[in-house]
Amino acid sequence: MLTRFAPSPTGHLHLGHALAAKEAFGFGAAEKGRCLLRIEDIDHTRCKPDYTLGIYKDLNWLGFDWPIPTRVQSRHYLDYAKVIAALLERGLAYPCELTRRELKDGQRSKTNNTLSPLEFLAHFKMEDDAPHPKPSLPYAIRLNLAKALETTAALALTFIEKEKAEIDAKTALMAWVRSGQADPIIARKDIGVSYHIAVTHDDHLQSITHVVRGMDLYEETPLHILIQTLMGWPTPIYHHHALLTRDDGEKLSKRGLDTSLHSLRENGLTAAQVLAMASP
């Protein structure tokens, strides 16, 4: 059993993160497995190295432990770009410079609807002096959802939630196509890749058997199942946990405290107190 805690360093960790970490590391320990830490920092427009350091410090303080080395996604843009290139190669993805709104308004893309994988990969050229590039693209890349569903028509597209319920991902994806909503973006224009590709790629690469994450990501799961199936990657078991609903956070802010873990620590709370507060 292998799970992971995969925060994005877009700010300081707060009580909600303490809950998510407790769920993931706790699950690993309870199942006599392990929990990895993965830093999901591909969004270079929002993530900061200082926040990454804060994650290590806060998790250490809370008493969690993880195997080293930690995978830091911003060092692996090319890995994710190669997945997108493979989907372009198979005609399952296409460049699109229009926003969801423009597509909804019926605008037609001016770009040719095809892009060669090599042309796409050229945006990720690694410079010798820039080991951690900050890629961007002149357009986004969208997954051709209808075609992807056609390609996987003979397959089940399901996932197991909490070891018992088998959830059908296909129905949600077919409803997406029928609704006429824009196709999902698998490479953002501003960062050249996307969360959906990076998270599924790394879960596969790291042989994650159980994905423990917040209920806020439940709606994203059908797309992840589709990407796994298209790429021939196994689908892990999912445990979407409840989010923080206790009002401690509110009470603390009323007392003038912010709920970031570092400020709770500086205000004299112990790790045990913070972990006790971090429950749904």
Binding residue (CB under 6 A) for ligand GLU from 7, 54, 95, 135: 7
Q: Residue 222 interacts with ligand GLU (CB under 6 A)?
A: no
Q: Residue 72 interacts with ligand GLU (CB under 6 A)?
A: no
Q: Residue 225 interacts with ligand GLU (CB under 6 A)?
A: no
Binding residue (CB under 6 A) for ligand GLU from 40, 43, 183, 202: 40
What minimum distance in Å lies between the beta carbon of 118 and ligand GLU?
Answer: 30
Give the list of residues 6+ apart from residue 179 with CB closer than 8 angstroms, or none: none
Q: Residue 213 interacts with ligand GLU (CB under 6 A)?
A: yes
The token pair that represents 243 in the structure block: 């989010």
Q: Residue 183 interacts with ligand GLU (CB under 6 A)?
A: no
Q: In what order do the strands lie in the sheet with 210-214?
A: 165-168, 158-161, 237-241, 210-214
Q: Residue 217 interacts with ligand GLU (CB under 6 A)?
A: yes
Stretch that binds ligand GLU, among 6-14, 110-118, 147-155, 232-240 (CB under 6 A): 6-14
Q: Residue 237 interacts with ligand GLU (CB under 6 A)?
A: no
d(CA 172, CA 175): 5
7 vs 95 by CB, closer to ligand GLU: 7
The token pair that represents 183 in the structure block: 């196709």
Stretch that binds ligand GLU, among 1-9, 121-129, 150-158, 238-246 (CB under 6 A): 1-9
Please list, residue by residue across 62-99, b when 16 or more beta carbons sit within 10 angstroms of its beta carbon and e when fewer do.
bebebeeeebbbbebbbbbbbbbbebbeeebbbbbebe
9 vs 249 by CB, closer to ligand GLU: 9
Q: Residue 6 interacts with ligand GLU (CB under 6 A)?
A: yes
38 vs 142 by CB, closer to ligand GLU: 38
d(CA 216, CA 240): 8
What minimum distance in Å lies between the beta carbon of 6 and ligand GLU?
Answer: 4
Beta-strand pair 34-39/71-72: parallel
Burial class (CB in 10 A: 0-12, 13-18, 19+), 108: exposed
Tally the C-alpha atoms within 13 A of residue 94's C-alpha that lie toward its C-beta. Answer: 17
51 vs 94 by CB, closer to ligand GLU: 51
Stretch that binds ligand GLU, among 4-12, 95-103, 180-188, 239-247 (CB under 6 A): 4-12
Q: Which one-letter DSSP state was computed for residue 241?
A: E
Residues 117, 88: contact at Cβ < 8 Å?
yes
Q: Residue 41 interacts with ligand GLU (CB under 6 A)?
A: no
Binding site for ligand GLU (CB under 6 A): 6-8, 40, 199, 213, 217
